[in-house]
Amino acid sequence: MNPPRSVLITGGNRGIGRAIAEAFLAEGDHVAVTTRSGGVPTGALELKADVTDPVALDAAFAAAEEAHGPVEVLVANAGITADTLLLRMSDDDWSSVIDTNLTGSFRLARRAAKSMMRQRRGRIIFISSVVGMLGSPGQVNYAASKAGLVGMARSLARELGPRSITANVVAPGYVETDMTAVLTDEQKAGIKSQVPLGRYADPAEVAGAVVWLASPASAYVTGAIIPVDGGLGMGH
């Protein structure tokens, strides 16, 4: 059994983030979870913070560090969609998704890297999406934000690698959560028909890849995209 680590997960109260928080708790780690609406898993430290609010984010980090010590594993999971076709996409549809999914993750990584560099170790994990690499009609904003995470992770991998800090991306396919509950049955059936494994992912299956990326077993993996997509995006 490894000693417990200080883990911070954004959006760990629902969906994929919650499954990730539960998986780290099961490993015996010290888990801090940021949320806007509350309701984190039992055993996790609940921190109220909107990832688009730099002051709140900084305060959440400070509280996590005070309770658990310097953050050793950062999972930037919080994300939103605002889907619509290009010609109908407003500036607000664009900027709200970029601010939450990409700029929020940048702020988190910058804050976490400070103490990781001092410690000369750390794991940064971004939750992207298969859509970032494949593209998706009606998701120009979302796909751009998720592709941006890949460039960010790979730059961080180069910049922080000399300090033994890894930066990786997990790219889930379709997972049954509140985010995908808005899809029609027809849309769901269309997606499933393109997935070689013929089903949606369970959030715990995404969590498994994240826990592995934080484990000693993946110490030599950085700048990678780990797909958890049932084969949907094969090749990226």
Interaction residues for ligand NDP, span 91-110 (CB under 6 A): 100
- Among 21, 31, 77, 156, which residue sits at the site for ligand NDP (rule: CB under 6 A)? 77
Dist CA 207 CA 82 (whole Å): 24
10 binds ligand NDP (CB under 6 A): yes
Q: Which of 40, 37, 18, 21 is nearest to 29 (CA)?
A: 21
Binding mask of the shown chain, residues 32 to 71, with x at each position contacting ligand NDP by CB under 6 A: --xxxx------------xxx-------------------
- Among 6, 166, 177, 222, which residue sits at the site for ligand NDP (rule: CB under 6 A)? 177
- Tell me the Ramachandran region of residue 38: left when phi exceeds 0, alpha when psi lies from -120 to 50, beta otherwise: left
- Among 61, 64, 71, 79, which residue sits at the site for ligand NDP (rule: CB under 6 A)? 79
Q: Which of 59, 27, 58, 31 is nearest to 43 (CA)?
A: 31
- Residue type (1 letter), 71: V
Provide φ and ψ at 123, rounded to 5°: -130, 125
Dist CA 51 CA 203 (whole Å): 21
Stated as kind and residue range, the H or E segment containing 167 is: strand 165-172
Dist CA 182 CA 225 (whole Å): 27
Part of the chain binding ligand NDP (CB under 6 A), chosen from 9-17, 150-158, 159-167, 216-224: 9-17
To the query of whether residue 142 is one of the catalytic residues in this protein, the response is: yes
72 binds ligand NDP (CB under 6 A): no
Q: How far is the CB of 55 from ligand NDP (least distance, A)?
A: 13
Q: How far is the CB of 175 from ligand NDP (least distance, A)?
A: 4
Please identify every residue annotated as catalytic. Answer: 142
Binding site for ligand NDP (CB under 6 A): 10-11, 13-17, 34-37, 50-52, 77-80, 100, 127, 129, 172, 174-175, 177-180
